[in-house]
Amino acid sequence: MMLADSVHAEESRQQVAAPACQAAMRRGSMKRELALKIVLAVVGLLFIALGYPMVVFIRQEPALSMQFSLYVTLGVFLLLAIRNPSASRSVIAFTAWSSFAHAALMGTQAWRNMVARGELIGVAVLVIIGAVLIALAPPKQLLESASHPGQLHSR
pLDDT (tens digit per residue) in 38-48: 999 999 999 99
Q: Note down the domain range covering 100.
A: 30-144
Q: Are 73 and 41 in contact (CB under 8 A)?
A: no
Task: Give the number of domains in the chain.
Answer: 1
Asked whether residue 103 is assigned to any structural domain, the reply reads yes
Residue 106 within a domain: yes
For residue 118, is it within any domain? yes
The pair phi, psi for residue 145, each rounded to 5°, is -70, 135
Query: Is 117 part of a structural domain of the chain?
Result: yes
- pLDDT recorded at residue 142: 62
140 within domain boundaries: yes
Q: Considering the domain boundaries, does residue 149 fall inside one? A: no
Does residue 4 form part of some domain? no
**What pTM value is reported for the model?**
0.74
Give tens-digit pLDDT for 50-72: 999 999 999 999 999 999 999 99
Q: Among candidates 79, 127, 130, 90, which has minimal Cα distance to 106?
A: 127
Intervals of the chain under pLDDT 50: none
